[in-house]
Every structure is written in structure tokens, then in C-alpha cells.
Amino acid sequence: MDSSSLTQFRALYEDGAPVWCTNIARIYCALANLTGLPTREVNAAGLYDGIQFTGHAFAESYLREQQTWVFVDVASGKAMVTTMDDRPLNSVQLWQQTQLAEDQPALLAWVYRDGTITQTPYAEARWSEQEYFGPNTDLLFPPPKSYPLSFMEKGYHYLLQTNRVWSADPTSLFARQTLQQLMRLGLLLSSSTILILSLLRFNRRNLESK
């Protein structure tokens, strides 16, 4: 567990400090990874009723036996959401299911209640996704490294990792990809300018030394 997650866990467990979904997701990610269960934080962001919101943080854990990521939202008490034939869903699959119809009779939620995990119809436990999963929602996936990232690492992952964002809205993805391409172009031009100036300075020094 990194120092940031440990600090948040202590604040919650020892001091009873108020926490947000981001804190809960990161604490779960840290603890799950410590046990050997690959887990990553996922954020939902986008538009809700025409209003831009900052998002909701949850997680995905990787089940090696089934070779799939599984949606986990500790903040809303959900350990997993499955189909009726026990096939676990990842975040994108769950988002797709929530957009199909108002009711979701074909899904089951595994919910933490009274010290144990019980199975319940997803329609009775979907309040969080009803609020944060909409037609204009973007799902943001982190780079494959523990927190925190340095400024240079964040820049590298934003510029070069093109699969961090999933969205059903092509306009949203186009805007993000266009921004990334412009930033890459700017980085390329800056690097080329620095290289050319360095070569010119080197040649000038050689000429002056003769």
C-alpha cells in the first residue's frame, strides 16, 4: 500500500474522517493489490442531465480464472454484477447493460450487507449507476502503475496511451484524441526545434574553434 492510500486508510479507520468515493476506491485498490488480486481504479465522467460532473470513482478487479476485469464499487456496496448465468461484467459491459432499458431483470448484484455478501436483483442496487452512468458518460482508466505518478509520467501516459478513455460518444472521443494529437504535434515541433538549435550551436562552436 503506498503512502497516500495508507494515509487515507488511517484517516478513515482510526480517525473516522469523512471520505469520498475516490478515497474508498483507492483504499480498496491498494488492499486488493496487496493480496495479489490485480485491481485498478476507474472513473466515470461526462454529462448528466446536461450538466458536466467531475465523476464517480470505483474499481475493477481482474479474475485470472475467467480472464476478465470485474466491476467493483465499494462505495455503493457492490462486490460484483453478473448475468443470470453468473458471468461477471466489467465497467463497459455494465454501462452497456444500463443503457438498454429502464429495468434490468437479467442482472444480479452481489452486495455487502450486515457483514456478508448477498445476491440481490440488480434493479434494487443500481442507484449509483443510475446517477453516474448515462449516454454521455466517459470511463477513464488509469495507466498501469500505482499512485502517485510524476508530472513527466502523467504527460507520457496522457500523450501516448490512447486506450485510457472509453466512451460511446464519438464526439467526446474525437475531442480528446484531437487534443492529444495537437499536444503530440507541439511536443514533436518543440523537440525538433531544440535539436536543430543544438546542432546549429555545435556547428558554430566547431567553426569558431578552427
What is the per-residue pLDDT for 106?
Answer: 83
CB 132 within 8 A of CB 44: yes
Indicate left, alpha or beta for 64 from its phi (over 0: left) and psi (-120 to 50: alpha).
alpha
- pLDDT tier for residue 74 given thresholds of 50, 70 and 90: very high
Averaged pLDDT of the chain: 77
- pLDDT tier for residue 92 given thresholds of 50, 70 and 90: very high
Tell me which of 182 and 89 has the higher pLDDT.
89
Flag whether pLDDT at 207 surpasses 60.
yes
Tell me which of 139 and 8 has the higher pLDDT.
139
- Which contacts of 23-31 are long-range, i.e. CB under 8 A and separated by 24 or more positions? 24/57, 24/74, 24/75, 25/57, 25/58, 25/59, 25/74, 25/75, 26/57, 26/147, 28/59, 28/72, 28/74, 29/5, 29/59, 30/1, 30/2, 30/5, 30/6, 30/146, 31/1
What is the per-residue pLDDT for 178?
Answer: 62
What is the per-residue pLDDT for 167?
Answer: 59
What is the per-residue pLDDT for 140?
Answer: 85
What is the per-residue pLDDT for 196?
Answer: 84
Flag whether pLDDT at 149 surpasses 60.
no
Question: What is the grid cell recorded at 191?
Answer: 523537440
